[in-house]
Chain A
Amino acid sequence: MDYFLQQLINGLTLGGVYALVALGYTMVYGIIQLINFAHGEIFAAGGYMGVILLSFLAANGLMETSPWLCLGISLALAMGYCAMLAMAVEKVAYKPLRNSSRLSVLLSALGMSIFLQNGLMLTQGVYDKAYPIAFTSGGFDLGSLHINYMQVIILSLTAGLLIALNTLVFKTRIGRAMRATAQDKVMAALVGINSNRVIATTFAIGAGLAAAAGIMVGLYYGSVRYDMGFVPGIKAFAAAVLGGIGNITGAMIGGLIIGMVEIFAAAYIPHGGEYKDVFAFVILILVLYFMPTGIMGENVDDTRV
């Protein structure tokens, strides 16, 4: 039972990270029906910005005095950086293609993903880059369960960001504009919504969440790598599809499910650890086969599929 609970917490942690990345996919897909392949690379860039900023702060001696402040600053700056990166990608690779065929945009996204991944490799090197500190060391015991601080950070930060996002989407002006644009772009433009700005904002918000996820993954595993974005990116997309693409609640649930399945498969199925990456894809294929619109239903207009 304790083992089960321990795995449950691990699964929630990983699932929270997937959910954060999945939100970026689902929001972008909801608005412009594009699989933003470069999103995984934005996630990796976030992880790298975390390393760079935390190393910088640590080398200047700020880490000993106030580690939490350092984490906060790095998180905020990395989220801002990735938002800018995503807006640049959108402007260069997607905006000029707004009216061309879907295949062109998809390939443009693929090209951007390869470009960014290699840009990271060229500027940061091919080897793993280690985070300067490990919040993982500390922890507390809850009965016979051991929960480390990193898991607390990830779970609380994920929850906080999800609540913030929900507020943003359902309670603010820009959120309403986003929902309107997702529902009907032409109609939204007619009532005075600047769809270009809404799309850029969507990219920026998604990228900010991905950057936070990248830092958390980096902190959790202790290092980042230039190609760390690809597989989590695809899994997060699987999560978005699983929950019903375009559906924000769905993406959260999908992320949690994918994370849980991965951890439990690794824990309970023989050889599950080696094949843990397979399960996300198998779930994706099964869901698309039996429920083509995902668990929570698709939230984009149905002229498309």
Chain B
Amino acid sequence: MTRESRKYWLTLVIGLAWFLLLLWPLLGINDDGTLSFAPAFAVWIRVAVVVSILAVIYFAKKQGWLDPVLNPAGKAAEEVRKVLAAPPLWIYILIGAALALAFPWFTSRYAQDIAISVLIYISLGLGLNVVVGLCGLLDLGYIAFYGVGAYTYALLSIHYGFPFWVALPFAATFAAIAGCFIGYPTLRMRGDYLAIVTLGFGEIIRIVLNNWMSLTNGPNGLLGIDAPAVLIPDFSDGFSLEVFFLKNLGYLYYVALGLAIFSIVGVYRLNFSRIGRAWEAIREDETAAELMGVNTFRFKLLAYAMGAVFGGLAGAFFAARMRFVSPESFTFIESALVLSMVVLGGMGSIPGIMLGALALIALPEVFREFELYRMLAFGGVMTLMMLFRPAGLIPAKRMGKRSDDED
């Protein structure tokens, strides 16, 4: 046993002992004045076994003992990748689109419900990706724009009877205004200060929604929002146009799909336009970008506004789908959820974010019986991802390192 490996195992043992020491007071000291060891030990032993197994695998991989097994597996994976890479990209897009279009025909209500959530979060993730992934501005209050969009549609629908489609541009506009409003004072800040200020803004908007009783009905939320409607021709009595409300989940799915496709195409076009390049330049090195003639002030503000537009659209759809909004839906944890989608999938990478949304919304539904541990696992995975794969599952192709990270 080398010195290195001894140190590795010693760290593991100390870590587990430390964990027991931290866990025991929480589970072992009872209110009735007794001490118990069984519950803490039961939890600890499970964690210890899992961690030890993982440690053995990691150690074996590091020592090269697994190469005989992993090499063929890696080669096979390489082969599969080559076969998959052979047909052009549009074939996959076509297959994906066909599957997405056919989805409601062969699935249950429950699956459609989850699919709608995934599509909403794809839009949100892509919107945040504009701010964080492309422009490099860390925004921890992104869900505020979602809230602005949702409340805009809710209020317009309830008080003025605006139909969904007419309200959409308003939701997008108000969200963009909110984006500029938040963006403007924060433009002078970078990095951590920016993160904390956007977090503060998100909280301010949530608190206002919670307390402005006359407008938002406070924590009780707003009821009676119309579902999206379409006009369909009716020939029964000559020719007239009938208003048809899309209350069925299957129809709503298509609206969500349309929204998601709009976001994907929109963000893709933005990413590969002059504006997108300017954003990436700002992300990589703001000072250099400014020296090269990029108007950083305008482009950063634009990034906030554009990101907010997608959030606002998603919010309006959310209100139309739930037909109820309350401040509960716009908490910090939602911002963290969207942010971790972007990070988990790979910042700046559109397929990555789609995968991230799928993983974070659909996977927990599969493991429903572990509902309680959902957020625990979510937090843990976020930290582990940063430790082992900070660039995300599908890293963006064009991505550099910020110059101010290097100090």
Contact = CB atoms under 8 A, between A and B. Distances in A.
A281 B386 contact: no
Nearest to B200: A281
Contact of B339 (A105, A107, A115, A119): A107
A278 B207 contact: yes
Interface string A97-114: 100111111111011111
A107 B347 CA distance: 13
* Most chain B C-beta atoms within 10 Å of own C-beta, residue among A48, A108, A117, A280: A108
Interface string A260-285: 00000000000100110110111011
Interface in B203-219: 203-204, 207-208, 211
B22 A288 contact: no
Binding site of B, secondary structure by majority: helix, strand, loop or mixed?
A: helix
A192 interface: no
Interface in A115-151: 115-120, 122-124
Interface string B368-400: 000011011011111111110010000000000
Given A88-B19, A241-B193, A285 B185 contact: yes
A48 B247 CA distance: 46
A56 B35 CA distance: 9
Nearest to A81: B25
Interface string B184-228: 011011111101110111011001100100000000000000000
Interface string B349-384: 000000000000000000000001101101111111
A59 interface: yes
B22 A84 contact: yes
A98 to B, nearest CB: 12
A241 B401 CA distance: 27
Interface stretch (A164-172, A216-224, A230-238, A248-256): A230-238
A60 interface: yes
Given A111-B378, A285-B200, 13 more contacts: A55-B29, A84-B22, A96-B387, A100-B405, A102-B192, A102-B404, A107-B386, A110-B379, A123-B23, A238-B196, A278-B208, A284-B200, A304-B404
Interface of B: 15, 18-19, 21-23, 25-27, 29-34, 138, 185-186, 188-193, 195-197, 199-201, 203-204, 207-208, 211, 332-333, 336, 339-340, 343, 372-373, 375-376, 378-387, 390, 401-402, 404-405, 407
